[in-house]
Each structure stands twice: as C-alpha cells, then as structure tokens.
Amino acid sequence: MTEGFVPLKIAGVGYCVPETVITNEDLKKLYDTSDEWIYTRTGIKERRVVSGNETAIDLGYKAAKDAIEKSGISADEIDCIIGASSAPPQIYPTLACHMQERFGIKKKIPAFDMTAACTGLIYALQIARGFIGAGIYKTILIVASDNNSKITDWEDRGTSILFGDGAGAMVVTASDDGIDDILAIDISADGSIGQLIQTNLPGQCCPLVEQADEEGNGKIIMNGKEVYKFAVSTVPSYVEHCISLSGMTSEEIDYLIPHQANQRIIESIQNRLKYSDDKVISNIKYYGNTSAASIPIALVEGVQQGKIKLNTTAVLCGFGAGMTWGAAVVRLREGIC
Ligand code: COA
C-alpha cells in the first residue's frame, strides 16, 4: 500500500431482487425454445423482473437500505454516492441522486452514476477506493441496480433468455483499524470490440441541421458467440493476474464470486483456478444475468445460504459491455452481510 493511502473497509453489503419470476417454461410463450436448450447453454432456469410500478430505483433503494443497516453507519454519514447502472429507468436524475433523495440526505454530497455495464460494481469499488484512499471522502455508498427487463429485446431468443433485474449495494468507508479490505483491484476495457454488446438509444434529429439518423430502439443487441469467446479467453487468466497482484496464491483465497453471465463462463474461471465447487458461488440458475448487481447478490445470498463463511477472502470478477472487465481480491469481514 502506498504511504499515506487510507485503507478501505467494506462495511456492509445488501441486495434486492423483484418478486416476479419468469421461468424458461414461461419464455416458450414468446418464442420457440426449451428449458433444456437454455439450461444446458447458460445454467439459467429462471430470472426475476420488476412488475407494476416497481423500478431499478426501488430495487436499488432496498439493496442500499440493507447494506446501510448491516454497516451500522447511518445514511447521514455517507459523503458520496456512486451509482453503477447500465439500465436505469432514467438517464437523469441518476440512480445515485435518487438514492440521496430516498434516504433524505440533506448534506450536499456528490452523487453520480457511472456505466461499466456488468463490470460496474468493480469499477465503482475502484473509484471509491481512490476517493477514500486519497482522503477525499470517508464513507461511500455504491449502488448497482439494473432494469435489464426494460432494455431486453423480448423477441430475441438469443438475449432475452439471459438477463434479469436486480440490485446490490455496498457501503465502504475509511478503515478504522488500519486493515485494508481491498487486497488487490484492477479494471480494464477494450473499446475496439465494443460492438459485441450494444444498446443504441432512440432519439430524434434537430430539425435545423442534417444529422445521421441512427435508429436505436434502446434494446440490447449482442453477438453471443463472440461475447462468449471473449469471456472465456480473457477473464480466467485476468483473474489469475489480479490474484497475483494481491501477493496471495489462488489456493489461499477462500471463494470465487464471479459475475453471473453464463454457468459455462463461470466454470472456465473455476477450472483455471482449479477450485472445487464449494469455493465457487453461482446463483445464475435463479436470477440470470443481473449485470452490475450480480456479484453483491451472489455474495449476500451465499452468506445467507451458508455457502460463504465470513472472516475470509474472495476474488470478485466482472466483465461485460464496453467491453470492460475487472477483478478484486477482498477481505470479507464478519457482519458485512
Ligand atoms: N432456444 C432455442 N434455440 C435457440 C435459442 C433459444 N433461446 N437461441 C438461439 N437459438 C438457436 C439459434 O437460432 C441457432 O440456430 P441455427 O443454428 O439454426 O441458426 C442455434 O440455436 C445456435 O445459436 P447460437 O447463438 O450460435 O447459440 P450459442 O451456442 O452461441 O448460445 C448464448 C447462445 C447466448 C447462450 C451464448 O452465445 C452465450 O451465452 N454467450 C455469452 C453471452 C453473455 O454472457 N453476455 C453477457 C456478458 S456480460
């Protein structure tokens, strides 16, 4: 750790998923598919979607409330909010500003969203680490919430089988005992392959000038095969690289908590690290891909289900549109979930 760098404590982690479940059987009402086809290729059996007036803001608020309660820190002590969302219901006000309003935080603190798609949580953690490390802010709320069902093309059977809605949140703060919970973190991107997953917003032209009329419909367009190849060729070795930055060996790390995109991608990382099943946290079967929220959902649920013991370490890794990717080796303290 650089001298003078303030160590970071992960103080609380929370999540929220909507009640409504869409099973693979349900998808057969939309197009020709089968549970067997979807499950063998992705590991997904069902996903959750918002219903009625519920939005990613509501999910994000519940996840953040959960994380704040677990942290033992009051909402008024938060001095920065970072939203990680690639499918918010509004571009602005941002998810982060909505959180400030929902929690009734009267202090004039910074609140902003950043988009790194399914790597959003790791990017936000790295940004928070920079702020806390430099002594700029002491306590930061990270909220990752995605309304994927709103940007899913429900006629496209190659993408709509994959995504679900959900939210996760983390409260991170300057460590009061000198121990840094981030043992290593790294984030990366390659814009030259950005066309592999795109969402083009609909818009209109200014009537006063000639403008390119790009016909976006706001829905996910994905080259599934190429994304799959990218993930299995890039992520496993990258996770190993990040582990080496921590000075630990993969055997010394207790858990792998990966972004939940596809069970076969998760297994490619697992095989690289030579981890047994009990070290790898996967809940993709029940939630599909919830973008930036998938890591905190897997972490908290893993603890609740007894798959993860606290006072341990984990390697988190994310990857997704951009293309972006990132990984972090973290300490999981007692009481955070
Ligand atoms: N049910 C039944 N058949 C389907 C189908 C579905 N839901 N979706 C596609 N098919 C068909 C295709 O039409 C194609 O038929 P054809 O050979 O007659 O043309 C065939 O199945 C194979 O399609 P393909 O797209 O090549 O399948 P795939 O083996 O690449 O699997 C994914 C598709 C999406 C499951 C896979 O590519 C994947 O998981 N990619 C990674 C995506 C991802 O993780 N994105 C998020 C990253 S954060």
Distances (CA, A) of 209 to 212, 214, 314: 10, 15, 54
Ligand 1, closest atom to CA 291? Answer: 48
Instruction: Indicate whether residue 118 lines ligand 1 (CB < 6 A).
Output: yes
- At residue 116, the pLDDT reads 97
Catalytic annotation on 289? yes
- Fold type of domain 8-174: Peroxisomal Thiolase; Chain A, domain 1 (3.40.47)
Separation of CA 120 and ligand 1 centre (Å): 24
- Give 18-22's long-range contacts (Cβ < 8 A, gap of 24+): 18/48, 18/49, 18/50, 18/51, 18/54, 18/59, 18/165, 18/166, 19/48, 19/51, 20/48, 20/49, 20/50, 20/51, 21/46, 21/47, 21/48, 22/46, 22/47, 22/48, 22/49, 22/164
Max Cα-Cα span within the chain:
63
- At residue 1, the pLDDT reads 62
Peptide bond into 99 cis (omega under 30): no
Ligand 1, closest atom to CA 319? Answer: 48
Separation of CA 42 and ligand 1 centre (Å): 9
Instruction: Indicate whether residue 285 lines ligand 1 (CB < 6 A).
Output: no
- At residue 211, the pLDDT reads 83
pTM: 0.96
- State the catalytic residue, choosing from 24, 262, 283, 289: 289
Q: What is the pLDDT along the chain (337 residues), one digit of tens a residue?
A: 677 899 999 999 999 999 999 999 999 999 999 999 999 999 999 999 999 999 999 999 999 999 999 999 999 999 999 999 999 989 999 999 999 999 999 999 999 999 999 999 999 999 999 999 999 999 999 999 999 999 999 999 999 999 999 999 999 999 999 999 999 999 999 999 999 999 998 888 888 998 887 778 899 999 999 999 999 999 999 999 999 999 999 999 999 999 999 999 999 999 999 999 999 999 999 999 999 999 999 999 999 999 999 999 999 999 999 999 999 999 999 999 9
- At residue 213, the pLDDT reads 73
Q: Whose CA is nearest to atom 14 of ligand 1?
A: 158
Q: Whose CA is nearest to atom 48 of ligand 1?
A: 320
Separation of CA 89 and ligand 1 centre (Å): 27
Ligand 1, closest atom to CA 160? Answer: 7
Q: Do domains 8-174 and 182-332 have the same CATH topology?
A: yes
- Domain range annotation of the chain: 8-174, 182-332
Residues 56 and 41: their CA atoms lie apart, in Å, by 28
Separation of CA 229 and ligand 1 centre (Å): 12
Q: Whose CA is nearest to atom 22 of ligand 1?
A: 158
DSSP letter at 216 equals -
Catalytic annotation on 259? yes
- State the catalytic residue, choosing from 24, 98, 259, 262: 259
Separation of CA 43 and ligand 1 centre (Å): 13
- At residue 7, the pLDDT reads 97
Instruction: Identify the CATH assignment for 182-332 out of 1.20.1050.10, 3.40.47.10, 1.10.645.10, 3.40.50.1820.
Output: 3.40.47.10
Q: For residue range 59-111, list pLDDT tens digits in order.
A: 999 999 999 999 999 999 999 999 999 999 899 999 999 999 999 999 999 99
- At residue 210, the pLDDT reads 86
Instruction: Indicate whether residue 284 lines ligand 1 (CB < 6 A).
Output: no
Locate tokens 């080796």: which residue?
329
